[in-house]
Chains A and B, each alone.
Chain A
C-alpha cells in the first residue's frame, strides 16, 4: 500500500501538535504507512489523502478562522465533496459540517450535513454545562455489527470518550447521526455521510479507546 498523507488543518484554533502525535502513534502502532502534516495551506489539503478538521473554541470564531485562509474552503470542498477523500471533523471541526451554528451569533457552516449547532440544554437542570468528561456512545450501536459504519464497527457502549462542549449538532435528518451519547437525553456524538465523519468528542484525547477510533478512520475506505 502506498504511503498515505494525512493533513490536519491548522486554522489558528489551538495546539495541533499533540493531535498530530496521536495520529502518528496510531500509524506506528498499527503499522500504517502514513505521513501526518499539520498545515494551514490549501494546497496541502488538496494533496492529502485524508483530511482532519479539528477545532476548539466557538463556532463563529472557528468558521471565521477557516474562511480567513484564502482558498481553504474551496480546497476542502474540492477534496472532500468532489474527490470524496475521507474526512474527519473533531469537536468544533465536526460542528462546522452543519448548515449553521448559533454560537456567538448566527454563522453559516460548511453545510455538508443539514442541521444546526444549538446550545446544549439538558432538561435536568442539575447537569453541568459544558458537558465535560467521559461518556459512552449509544444508539444506533444496537444495529448488528455487519450493518454498522466501518469506523464504528468495534465500538461498544462500555467504552467512554472525552467530551467537552456546550453546543450540539442537531441534524435535520436522523440518518446522519451515526451515534449518540446520553447527557440528560440522547445527543449526537458522531455524525457522517458518504466519505465524511464527525466526532463531537476528542478521539485524540480519549486514550486507547480514542486511538482505536482514529485507527479505524485511517483504515476506512469509503
Chain B
C-alpha cells in the first residue's frame, strides 16, 4: 500500500536556510545540506528546497546546495523557486534534483508546463500553486505570494495536471506561517479534482494538522517547514501521529 509522504521543506536563500512567516520576516537558520542530512536520518519521505529569493537574486548558489545535498542523501529531492525555462529545469536536474517545482513561470506561460513535461518527463514536473481565498473561491498568486491573479486555483490545478504536471504542490497563502492548519477546504477541492498527487502546504502548527491534511484534505503528501525545522517535532513523531490516526505511513 502506498504510504502518505511527509515532506519537510527548507526555504533557502543565497544558499542558507531561512524560515518564512507569510513569506516575509526571514530568519537565517543554517546550512541546507546539514538540515537535509538531519531529515534524511529522521526518515523524511522526501525533501523540498524552495529558493525563495530566486526570482530577484543571484541563484547560482542553489545549484551548489542541490549538488551537495544529492551527494549526501539518497531520497527524492524537489527544488523550486525562480524556475523560468527548460534550461533552469535541466540545470537543477543535472545538479541532482529529482523534481522541479514551477510556479510563476507556469502562470506567465502555461505552455511552458507542457514543454517541460514533454522534455523532462511528467514525473519531475511539480506545479506549485500559491492560493488565497477570494470570496467563494481561491485565486492564484505568483512571485512568492506578492502578486495576485484572477485565476481560479482549482481550475488552474486541473489545467496544470492536464498539461503534464506530475504533482501539485498547493500552498494556502491565508494559512502559511499561521500555524492554524492547512486550508482543508481548498486542499480537498483541489485534491478531489485532479488525477495527480497533491501535496498540502501552508499552516501546519501541530501534528493533528498533518493528519487532517490527508484524512480531510485528501492530500497524498503533507509538507511543513517550521514545525520540523525548529525542532518542535521530529519526522518520527509526525509519522507516529499519522499512524495512530490510521493513515498508512512508512515504518521507521
Contacts and interface: CB of A to CB of B under 8 A. Distances in A.
B122 A132 contact: no
A21 B67 CA distance: 11
Contacts of A56: 121, 123-124
Contact of A131 (B2, B73, B95): B2
B94 A15 contact: yes
Given A160-B251, A207-B40, A133 B93 contact: no
A113 to B, nearest CB: 22
Interface string A1-26: 00000000000001101100110010
A166 B195 CA distance: 12
Q: What range describes how many residues of B lie at the interface?
A: 35 or more
A133 B196 contact: no
Contact of B220 (A18, A133, A162, A210): A133
Which residue among B120, B121, B251 has the maximum number of chain A CB atoms within 10 Å of its CB?
A: B121
Interface string B223-252: 000000000000000000000000000110
A89 B210 CA distance: 36
Given A207-B40, A207-B73, 18 more contacts: A15-B96, A17-B96, A18-B71, A61-B121, A131-B2, A133-B2, A133-B3, A133-B197, A135-B2, A135-B3, A136-B1, A160-B251, A164-B123, A166-B123, A204-B74, A205-B76, A206-B74, A207-B43
B167 interface: yes
Interface string A195-222: 0000000101111001100000000000
Given A14-B93, A133-B221, A135-B3, A207 B74 contact: yes
Given A128-B196, A134-B45, A15 B221 contact: no
A160 B70 contact: no
Given A17-B96, A128-B196, A58 B74 contact: no
Interface string B37-64: 0001001010000000000000000000
A165 B122 CA distance: 9
